[in-house]
Structure 1
Amino acid sequence: MRDTILTAFKKIEEDFHIKILFACESGSRAWQFPSKDSDYDVRFIYVHKKKEYLAIDPIGIGSKRDVIELPINDLLDISGWELTKALRLFRKSNPPLMEWLRSGIVYYQAFSTIEQMQELSKSIFAPNSCSHHHLNMETNNFREYLQGEEVRIKKYFYVLRPVLAAGWIEKYNEFPPLEFSTLVNHLVPEGSLKNEINTLLKRKLDGEELDKEPKIQLINKFLNEEIERLREYANMLNIDIPDFTPKLDLLFRHTLVEVWKR
């Protein structure tokens, strides 16, 4: 699959006249709970040639799109963000982008831009915005997937992970790790709840078809209580993050020189 992905990148660079700086896996594979039929969620960051930025309309305005998305098939979902778009979101501690920078599955990396972003991410991390992101995700997924007497059992992971990620931020005041098992091991005490979660994880990783089943009352109770508790915590956060715009401007300019050599 890696060769297929790298071949797709070469074609993207040729078709769009860009350079890819970084590409990684996101979603369930990066979180280490893929299903047997999980596709590959590949995300990348790219940069245009200098002349594209020397125009009265910035990238992202009108026909000058700041994303590249390939048609999704049964196996591959590939999309990327243009660098200035990525840096503007990075400035706001955008959680999906912060996850890309921490992905354990990296398909491609070139030039020094990503290393510099990874180093800056330690300072740019904003616990308030990241907590609210995870809480909004878990609340929406909990409401949509886990309210009936019978639920799509694999959807528990898409509520448990953001709940535990928000809990990690509360406990450690740092961006949470991507790996689901790490969150469980650090945040869920030994006992019946942890056993239920780990049993569910084993079934999913073993390729068992986790379709509709009776909801797991113990996990639902935990989620209800944690969502309410963490919402109160997040609402109390009021942390000002310094403006990193000057540093990110320099990083962008340095990237243009490094990539295009002139």
Structure 2
Amino acid sequence: MFDTILKTLHTIEEEQDVRVLYACESGSRAWGFPSQDSDYDVRFIYVHRQNWYLTIDVEHHRDVIERPISDQLDVSGWDLRKALQLLRKSNPPLLEWLNSPIVYRNEYDSAAQFKQLLPLYYSPIACMFHYLHMARGNYRDYLRGDEIWVKKYFYVLRPILAIKWIESEQGVVPMEFATLVDAIITDATLKHEIEVLLARKKAGDELDKGPRNALISQFIETELTRLETTPTPPAPPRPSKDALNRLFRHMMIVAWER
């Protein structure tokens, strides 16, 4: 599949007249708990030629490339300008891409150049809002019945553990679910229950269903209640765009020199 992914990215470059700067895995395979039939969720950052940006209506140009899902391959990417705008907002999905343990392309050491700007743009508060919204929504939509789609537990557990990671001031949230569990879950019984659920997720297919786990459900509900009653400080003002503009110009130039 690795070769197929590289060929797909090359085809996108040719068809769209862009250069892929960075490409990684972003879904359950990067989180460390793929099922037997999990998709490959490939996400990438790309850059157009200079003239594409030199128009009076560049903000109306489509800044996303998406491919229809086929053969377990889900591929989509963001234009460099969009990615840098989202970095200024401390966008958690982008931060997770940059920390993915599975990288398919990393031209010109792009990930490191993005990460050099994190001290300027990383906002714990913005990230906590994102993960709390995700946890609330997934809990409301998937975890209220007597029988639960197994994978949906992780779609609530992971953002809750991400919030607790941020609260412990450990910086940008890691992609790997096991890293979060090891760092955050101190109750041995709860950790065991999560590990058993994780083994089921890996062994089953994407649609495996089972009864509610009382201990995990209680942990989730307790944390959501706590977070609902915890006052959240206002987000700090966004810093200057100067560093982002410099990186944008640099990456656009080096990408098209070859």
Whole-angstrom CA distance in 2 between matches of 1:122 and 1:31: 24
2:76 alignment counterpart: 79
Map 1:62-211 → 2, pairs under 5 A:
64-207=61-204, 211=208
Matched, 1:11 2:11: yes
Aligned pairs, number:
258
**SS of residue paired to 1:132:** helix
Whole-angstrom CA distance in 1 between matches of 2:249 and 2:167: 36
**SS of residue paired to 2:156:** helix
Question: 1:112 and 1:185, CA in 2 relative to 1: closer, same or farther beyond 3 A?
Answer: closer
- Can you list the C-alpha shifts for 1:28-62, whole angstroms capped at 9, x where unaligned? 1111011111000000000000111111111x40x
> Percent of pairs identical after alignment?
50
**SS of residue paired to 1:172:** coil
Whole-angstrom CA distance in 2 between matches of 1:241 and 1:120: 16
- Alignment gaps of 5+ in structure 2: none
Question: 1:230 and 1:174, CA in 2 relative to 1: closer, same or farther beyond 3 A?
Answer: farther
Structure 1 residue 173, shift from structure 2 partner = 4.7
Contact in 1 for aligned 2:37/2:205 (Cα 8 Å): no
Map 1:28-39 → 2, pairs under 5 A:
28-39=28-39
1:25 alignment counterpart: 25
Structure 1 residue 87, shift from structure 2 partner = 0.5
**SS of residue paired to 2:36:** coil
Higher relative contact order (CA 8 A, sep 6+): 2
Contact in 2 for aligned 1:145/1:152 (Cα 8 Å): yes
Contact in 2 for aligned 1:204/1:210 (Cα 8 Å): no
- Can you list the C-alpha shifts for 1:6-35, whole angstroms capped at 9, x where unaligned? 111111111111111000000111110111
Structure 1 residue 132, shift from structure 2 partner = 0.9
1:253 alignment counterpart: 249
Whole-angstrom CA distance in 2 between matches of 1:131 and 1:209: 27
- Alignment gaps of 5+ in structure 1: none
Contact in 2 for aligned 1:166/1:230 (Cα 8 Å): no
- Can you list the C-alpha shifts for 1:106-153, whole angstroms capped at 9, x where unaligned? 001112443211121243211111001111111111111110111212
Question: 1:168 and 1:36, CA in 2 relative to 1: closer, same or farther beyond 3 A?
Answer: same
Further displaced range: 16-25 or 172-181: 172-181
TM-score (norm 2): 0.94
**SS of residue paired to 2:108:** coil
Question: Cα RMSD between the aligned structures?
Answer: 1.7
Whole-angstrom CA distance in 2 between matches of 1:19 and 1:97: 18
Whole-angstrom CA distance in 1 between matches of 2:178 and 2:235: 29
Further displaced range: 218-227 or 171-180: 171-180
Whole-angstrom CA distance in 1 between matches of 2:207 and 2:67: 29
Structure 1 residue 208, shift from structure 2 partner = 6.4
Contact in 1 for aligned 2:120/2:239 (Cα 8 Å): no
